[in-house]
A and B are shown apart, each in its own frame.
Chain A
Amino acid sequence: MLNPQLSSLIITTEGLNRITSILNKLRDETNARYIILVEKSGQMIANVGEDNPFTMPLSALVAGAFASTREIARLVGETEFSVMYQSGQNRHIYILSLKTQDLLTVVFDEGPMLGIIKLKTKQVADSLSNEIVSMMKN
C-alpha cells in the first residue's frame, strides 16, 4: 500500500483541478503560450496551455536557474529576488517565486503583455501557495 505520509507533496484530483483552473484563467487573461507550476526541487506540479515535450527538463532548469538567483540575492545582501524575466526575440519567460518557493512560470510571445503578466501572476500567487501548502505532508 502506498504510504503518502512518507512523501512530501500529495496531489489530489480536486487539488489539481483547482490549480489547473487558476492557471487556465491566468493563461486566458495573459494570452500566455503555456504556464507551468514548478515545485521548488524541479518537479512539475501542473501545466496548462500548448503541449510541450520538454516540460520536465524545463521545470528542472527553471528551478535550477531560480535557485542560483536565490543564492546570488543572499550574497549581495538581498533577502531574495522573487521574479525572473528573460526576453527573447519571439519568446519570453516570466517566473514568479511563490511564498512556498515553488515557481509560477509563464511562457508568452507578446512582449507588451509583461505588465499584465506581472499583475495577474501576483493576484493568483496566494491562491496557488495555499493550494500547495494544503497538499504538503511531512
Chain B
Amino acid sequence: MALINYSTREIHCKIVFYGTGLGGKTTNLEYVHKQLNPSIRGEMVSLNTANERTLFFDFLPLDLGSVQGFRTKFSLYTVPGQVEYNASRKLVLNGADGIVFVADSQIEKMEENIESLKNMEENLAEYNMTLDSIPWILQYNKRDLPNAASLELLEKTLNTRGVPSFEAVAFEGTGVFATLKAISKEVLNRLT
C-alpha cells in the first residue's frame, strides 16, 4: 500500500521479491545493501533459519531520490521461497506495491519457477490483486550457470504477459540495480 505523506513530502512504497527457494531473492537485497551508501539505505533485517534460509522475510529500506518534489522511499522485502512457508509468503505480500519475480534460470528449476509464479498469483488473489493490476517484473537470475535455460525459453514459459524482464547474476551484482531501477520506475509510474 503506497503511502503519500504530504506533510513530510515523502512517498513510501513496498516492493516484494518473490520466487523459488534459493533462487536469489535474498542475494539481491544483500548485494544492494552492500553496494549502497548507508546514507541512502537502512539496516537490513533478515529473519532466517540457522543455515540462513529465509524463514519469514528480509527487509531493506532505501531512499531512492525525489520525484515531483517528493522523496521516494522503498521498503524491499523478500519472501521465503521454500514450499512449506506459503502462509508467511502470503503475509509478506500484504500491501505490496510492486513485485520482482526472481526466476532461477537453471533448466531443472523451470517447473519450480512455474509453480512459484502460480503460487504468487493465488496469494495475490487473496488480496484482490492480479498480475494485471500490480506492477511486476521478472528477473532471470543465475545466467552464469552452464545449465541455464535459454532466454527465449524462459520468456516463453514465464513471461506470457510481456512484463519487463532482466538477466542477472545476483551474487556478483549483474542486473541487480537494473532490476531495482525498473521496478521502482514501474511503481512510481502508477502513482503519477
Contact = CB atoms under 8 A, between A and B. Distances in A.
Interface of A: 1-4, 6-13, 15-17, 39-45, 53-54, 56-57, 60-61, 64, 67-68, 71
Nearest to B93: A41
Interface string B1-30: 111111110011010000000000000000
A2 B68 contact: yes
B47 A42 contact: no
Which of A3, A12, A16, A67: most chain B CB closer than 10 A? A67
A9 B75 contact: no
15 contacts: A7-B191, A9-B2, A10-B4, A11-B8, A16-B7, A39-B1, A40-B1, A42-B77, A45-B3, A54-B42, A57-B43, A60-B75, A60-B77, A64-B57, A71-B91
B7 A64 contact: no
A13 B94 contact: no
Given A9-B1, A10-B4, A43-B75, A3 B14 contact: no
A15 B8 CA distance: 12
B92 interface: yes
Interface of B: 1-8, 11-12, 14, 42-43, 45, 47, 56-57, 59, 61, 67-68, 70, 75, 77, 87-88, 91-92, 94-96, 190-192
A11 B3 contact: yes
Given A60-B75, A64-B47, A11 B95 contact: no
Contacts of B14: 41-43
Contact of B95 (A40, A61, A71): A40
The A contact surface, by secondary structure, is mixed
A11 B4 contact: yes
A74 to B, nearest CB: 10
A58 B182 CA distance: 27
Given A39-B95, A64-B92, A8 B70 contact: no
Given A54-B42, A60-B75, A71-B87, 13 more contacts: A2-B70, A6-B2, A6-B191, A7-B3, A9-B3, A11-B5, A11-B6, A13-B7, A16-B7, A41-B14, A60-B45, A64-B91, A68-B91
